Structure formats: structure tokens, C-alpha cells
Amino acid sequence: MMLVGMDALDPRRRFPATAPAIRVEASEERLDPIDCQELQWWFAIPRLGDRTAFAAYNVDTGELDWARQVVATAPLRVNGQDAVELQASEWSRDLFPTRIAIHRFICVLDEDRARWLAVTLDADGEARTLTEGDPEFECGWAGTGPRRLVDGGRYQQRADGSCRSTGTSDMGAGVYRVAIGPRVFTCLRVIDLVPFDDESAELGVAFVEPGGRTVLYREYSTRAMGDDWQAWRAEHPGREIVINGNLFLQRDCTGFAHDVLTTASMATSRAHALEE
């Protein structure tokens, strides 16, 4: 059985019940390449001692819709390679409203990226394990991005605010100042494009501070993924990205838009003072 009662494992304890004020503005600052050792985009580092939590706030209501905490618990040796076991506790308003689900991962931090080797997920209270080579694992867990994050000019912004994508493979897309409550972070914006077919795609947009930790994450989908996209766009002004003429609206697989904050978002040691 993979579900436990609500106790110290509850990741909601790490976050306020409603979203703090969030503001994102383009910056003229320049950042050196960033070494992001996180599992993208679960935000934990597969290294003993790491304890990371993250939570999703509904942009319409400001309410906390789900929260997760990931703790690196034990060293492992897998096929001659040093790895780490991680335990993830999850609360979800829709999936686990009165319980905490427990997932377990086996992960490794390579020289070029952090990645999963196996995941054991709660599936209606029963453990379900996926490993390398399983089609579902390859689809959902195998494609992790590089540790080295840099803006090499892949995304060129036009005067109208849209972007043109060039042929380079880096994921950096400009420097931004991200204000979360009283804390302000200077971040590299990272765009992770996941195509599904000729018409559908998702964007993961992360704002990563120079120490390699994500402080804000948003997901966007193409208009083909929702018949009501015109109404959604009208109701959510400014929550869109246009790349090569393709419109992406801030909306994830739940059908809602969320701002995901992490424990790094709450860390004053990583932030600047908020300017008046």
C-alpha cells in the first residue's frame, strides 16, 4: 500500500495556503552559464541531503492545488553506477485530497544531466514500477535536459514580444527578474519544448537562479489541445507565448493554469531585497 496518513510528510506545510504576489519582468542583466543539477522539472537534486518541495497555485483562484516534497534517502549502486534513492510525498486536491501518496525514485547525477533510472509510483494505492526500456518510462521520465543552462541565442525576441527559434539546442531564453512576495530573483528563463505531433506541443518554462535552483515554473500548451482556447486566451491576458508563429497558452494537463513555486522560491538567502 502506497498511501499514508497526513503527518510530517505533508508537503503543504512548506508553503502558504494562497499564492504570494508574483511578478516577472525582462532584465538587461547578463548571467554566466548555470549548472542546474535538478531533475527537470521535479526540482530535486539526486544527492544525499537534498530536500526539495514544490507546490502549484491555481492562477485563477490563488489556491494551492497540489504539493510535493522529494527527499534523497539512501545511496545505491545500480549496474556499477552510483545512484540515489529518493522518496516523494504528494498531496493533490483532485487525486489525494485526504491522504498523502508516496512515490520512490532511483536517480543519478551524471556529468551532463540528472536523470531517473526507475520510478515506483502510487497507482490507486498500489505500487507500480517503471524502468528504463518500458515505453511509459521512456515517454514520461527518460527525456531530461542538460545541466548546463545558457542563453546561446536560440530564442530571439521580436518587437511584438513573440519569439523566433533558431537551430541551436540550448534552452536559455533571456534573463528575467522574478518577484515572489518580498523576494526578487535574477533568473535565466529556460524554455523546454515538448512536441507531441504536427499540431500539439507543450512548453515547460522555468526561471532558474544562478545557483541552479528553479524558483518559478509554468506549463503552456498549443491551442490544438483545447477547443475553448479563444475563450481561455481572452480570460487569461498576458499568459501566452508565441514561438515561430505558434501560440502557446499557459495551461497544463489538468486543464488549468498553475504557477509552481519551490522551496528555493521561499529562500531569502537566494533573493534580492524587493525594490520599492
pLDDT of 1 reads 35
Compute CA distances 28 → 47, 162, 178, whole Å.
34, 18, 13
pLDDT of residue 140: 86
Is the separation of the CB atoms in 177 and 273 below 8 Å? no
37 vs 139 pLDDT, higher one? 37
Nine-digit cell string for 154: 536560440
Identify the band that residue 4 occupies on the pLDDT scale cut at 50, 70 and 90. very low
**pLDDT: is 117 or 8 the higher one?**
117
- Structural domain range at position 51: 3-273
**Measured CA angle at 87 (ends 86, 89), to 5 deg:** 145
What are phi and psi for residue 102, nearest 5 degrees? -120, 125
Instruction: Categorize the per-residue pLDDT at 194 as very low, low, confident or very high, splitting at 50, 70 and 90.
Output: confident
pTM listed for this prediction: 0.92
Q: Per residue in 54-85, pLDDT tens?
A: 999 999 999 999 999 999 999 999 988 899 99
- Predicted local distance difference test score (pLDDT) of residue 7: 63
The lowest-confidence range among 1-15, 117-131, 183-197, 237-251 is 1-15
Is pLDDT of 2 > 50? no
- Whether omega before 41 lies within 30 degrees of 0, making that bond cis, reads yes
Report the half-sphere exposure of 228 (CA within 13 A, side-chain side).
Answer: 7
**Average pLDDT in the chain:** 89
Give burial (CB, 10 Å; 0-12/13-18/19+) of 79: exposed
- Among 55-64, 123-132, 178-187, the range scoring the smallest mean pLDDT is 123-132
Domain count of the chain? 1
pLDDT for res 3: 44
* Chain centroid to CA 19: 16
Work out the average pLDDT over 248-260: 93
Residue that the C-alpha cell 545512484 belongs to: 83
Write out pLDDT tens, residues 38-54. Answer: 999 999 999 999 999 99
pLDDT for residue 200: 65
| CA neighbours closer than 13 Å in the CB half-sphere of residue 54 | 25
Residue 247 grid coordinates = 501560440
Over residues 91-114, mean pLDDT: 92
Query: Are 9 and 90 a contacting pair, CB within 8 Å?
Result: no
- Whether the CB-CB separation of 105 and 115 falls below 8 Å is answered with no
Residue 236, pLDDT above cutoff 60: yes
Alpha-helix runs per DSSP H in 104-176 = 135-140
Question: For 22-52, b where at least 16 C-beta lie within 10 A, e where not — what string?
Answer: bebeeeeeebeebebbbbbbbbbbbeeebeb
